[in-house]
């Protein structure tokens, strides 16, 4: 009989030391694989994860699930994450996770209206924080209303799916659930059923991977910086003449615009430098921006640009950039 790891859902094995699911103990006694043990205790891994076949996960869920909660964290709202949400054909709710990092001045109902309109979403949208245990009961209210006994929790890696399941488990059973959570991409490796009570089972699922080289890196220190830990403190740069901004010496912007302002909604830990002299020669992307638009950097966040202008950008992965009408509408959602 096979036994699965409590932390990541992978089948445990004690044959292949370098393979997923390896545990040095007798499998009968084991609870976690070695990879989960290392993530939990040392926050590190040395076993690569499987490339995630997102169409397989979606087709399984579309066949099996009666209800899906799809998590997207506030800084990761973009066409790629929303289009995955739309591939789910069962009844579903979009959950904007980690709302504890959204600045208080932003009106969530306005963001919700914007998402419905701009991304053409007809489903429920909830804002939750598993860390601060905010709004979690609304998830259960939906399940009770819809009379659903099993719900799948889906989304991109690091959206907070496993943290949400652990938080709900704790809230409803007063004991700890022990699914492994971490910033390491693809912490959860397979489906995990978590019985909350006789009427409710939640199913954790492996996260999708953004088509973003910043995420497909072994450089966990960059991923740690990308992840906001507290309220975002948006930084505004007033632009009156040719100005250059660069994020972490990886993304370079050239802004040639008078009386414009750019506000960065990124993790506070990312380093942004401003200068009036370019430190690079060429730019590989030229964006024509309309009044009050957001430049999205997939996986990182976005930059709100007040006035129409042309912005040149240099980065190794131009495909992670997209432009949308400001998520705050005309009044910054305030």
Ligand X SMILES: Nc1nc2c(ncn2[C@@H]2O[C@H](COP(=O)(O)OP(=O)(O)OP(=O)(O)O)[C@@H](O)[C@H]2O)c(=O)[nH]1
Q: How far is CA 131 from the centre of its chain?
A: 14
| Contact indicator for 33, 24 with CB cutoff of 8 Å | no
Q: Least distance from C-beta 167 to ligand X, angstroms?
A: 8
Q: Least distance from C-beta 314 to ligand X, angstroms?
A: 29
Q: Which stretch binds ligand X (CB under 6 A): 14-22, 109-117, 160-168, 292-300?
A: 160-168
- Tell me how far apart the alpha carbons of residues 224 and 200 are, in angstroms, rounded to a whole number: 33
> What count of other Cβ atoms lies within 10 Å of the Cβ of residue 305?
25
Q: Which stretch binds ligand X (CB under 6 A): 32-40, 86-94, 181-189, 296-304?
A: 181-189
Among 76, 112, 130, 260, binds ligand X (CB under 6 A): 130
Question: Rule CB under 6 A: is residue 162 a binding residue for ligand X?
Answer: yes
Q: Least distance from C-beta 182 to ligand X, angstroms?
A: 5
Among 157, 177, 212, 293, binds ligand X (CB under 6 A): 157
Question: Which one of Mg ion, ligand X, none interacts with residue 159, CB within 5 to 8 A by kind?
Answer: ligand X
- Tell me how far apart the alpha carbons of residues 209 and 185 are, in angstroms, rounded to a whole number: 8
| Contact indicator for 309, 260 with CB cutoff of 8 Å | yes
3-state secondary structure of 262: strand
314 pairs with which residues across the strands? 252
Residues touching ligand X: how many (CB under 6 A)? Answer: 24
Question: Rule CB under 6 A: is residue 9 a binding residue for ligand X?
Answer: no
Binding residues vs Mg ion (CB under 5 A): 161-162, 187-188
| Contact indicator for 35, 204 with CB cutoff of 8 Å | no
Question: Which one of ligand X, Mg ion, none interacts with residue 182, CB within 5 to 8 A by kind?
Answer: ligand X
Question: Rule CB under 6 A: is residue 116 a binding residue for ligand X?
Answer: no
Question: Rule CB under 6 A: is residue 160 a binding residue for ligand X?
Answer: yes
C-alpha distances in Å from residue 209, one per residue of 158, 172, 193: 9, 30, 21
Question: Which one of Mg ion, ligand X, none interacts with residue 7, CB within 5 to 8 A by kind?
Answer: none
Query: 249 to 288, contacts with ligand X by CB under 6 A?
Result: none
Q: At what angle do helices 161-173 and 137-146 cross, to 10 degrees?
A: 80
> Which long-range contacts (C-beta less than 8 Å, at least 24 apart) are formed by 36-43?
36/5, 36/6, 36/7, 36/8, 36/180, 39/7, 39/180, 39/182, 39/184, 39/187, 40/7, 40/180, 43/182, 43/184
Among 187, 246, 309, 326, binds ligand X (CB under 6 A): 187
Question: Which one of Mg ion, ligand X, none interacts with residue 186, CB within 5 to 8 A by kind?
Answer: ligand X
Q: Per-residue DSSP letters for 147-185? A: T-SEEEEEEBTTSSHHHHHHHHHHHHHSS-------SSS
- Tokens read off for 278: 């370019």
Q: Which residue is nearest to ligand X (CB)?
A: 207
Among 158, 177, 260, 309, binds ligand X (CB under 6 A): 158
- In terms of CB distance, is 243 or 270 closer to ligand X? 270
Residues within the interface to ligand X (CB under 6 A):
97-98, 100-101, 129-131, 155, 157-163, 181-183, 185-188, 206-207
């Amino acid at each position: 009989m096979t036994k699965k790891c409590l932390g990541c859902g992978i089948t445990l094995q004690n044959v292949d030391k370098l393979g997923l699911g390896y545990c040095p103990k007798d499998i009968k006694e084991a609870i976690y694989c070695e990879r989960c043990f290392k993530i939990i205790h040392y926050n590190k891994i040395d076993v690569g994860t499987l490339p995630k076949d997102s169409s397989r996960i979606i087709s399984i869920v579309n066949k099996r699930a009666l209800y899906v909660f799809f998590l997207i964290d506030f800084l990761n709202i973009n066409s790629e994450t929303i289009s995955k949400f739309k591939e789910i054909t069962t009844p579903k709710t979009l959950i904007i996770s980690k709302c504890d990092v959204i600045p208080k001045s932003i009106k969530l109902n306005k963001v919700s209206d914007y998402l419905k309109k701009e991304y053409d979403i007809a489903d429920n949208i909830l804002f939750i924080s598993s860390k601060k245990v905010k709004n979690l009961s609304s998830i259960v209210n939906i399940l009770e209303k819809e009379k659903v006994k099993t719900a799948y929790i889906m989304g991109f890696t690091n959206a907070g799916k496993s943290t949400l399941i652990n938080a709900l488990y704790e809230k409803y059973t007063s004991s700890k659930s022990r699914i492994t959570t971490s910033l390491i991409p693809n912490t959860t490796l397979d489906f995990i059923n978590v019985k909350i009570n006789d009427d409710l089972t939640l199913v954790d699922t492996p996260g999708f991977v953004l088509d973003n080289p910043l995420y497909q890196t072994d450089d966990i220190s960059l991923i740690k910086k990308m992840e906001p830990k507290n309220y975002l403190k948006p930084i505004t740069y007033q632009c009156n003449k040719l100005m250059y901004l660069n994020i972490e010496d990886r993304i370079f912007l050239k802004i040639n615009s008078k009386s414009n302002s750019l506000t960065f909604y990124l993790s506070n830990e990312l380093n942004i430098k401003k200068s009036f002299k370019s430190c690079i020669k060429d730019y590989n992307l030229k964006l024509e921006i309309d009044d009050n638009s957001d430049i999205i950097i997939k996986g990182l966040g976005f930059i709100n640009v007040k006035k129409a202008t042309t912005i040149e950008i240099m980065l190794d992965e131009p495909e992670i950039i997209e432009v949308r009408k400001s998520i705050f509408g005309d009044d910054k959602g305030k």
